[in-house]
Amino acid sequence: MWSLWKRRNAIKHGSGISWEEMVNMTMGLINK
């Protein structure tokens, strides 16, 4: 949930997905 929110926030700002976002998404999948 947090990862999705951060990703959404990044896209909202037009920053795309940075390394930090990618790490957070990966961690979210692992924790899932």
In this predicted structure, what is the pLDDT of residue 22? 80
The whole-number pLDDT of residue 9 equals: 64
- Total tally of structural domains belonging to the chain: 1
pLDDT in tens, 1-32: 567 766 666 666 555 566 777 888 888 888 86
Exposure b/e, 4-32, CB count within 10 A at least 16 = b: eebbeebeeeeeeeeeebeebbeeeeeee
pLDDT for residue 32: 66
Q: What sign for the dihedral angle of Cα 27, 2, 7, 4?
A: positive
| Domain range for 11 | 2-31
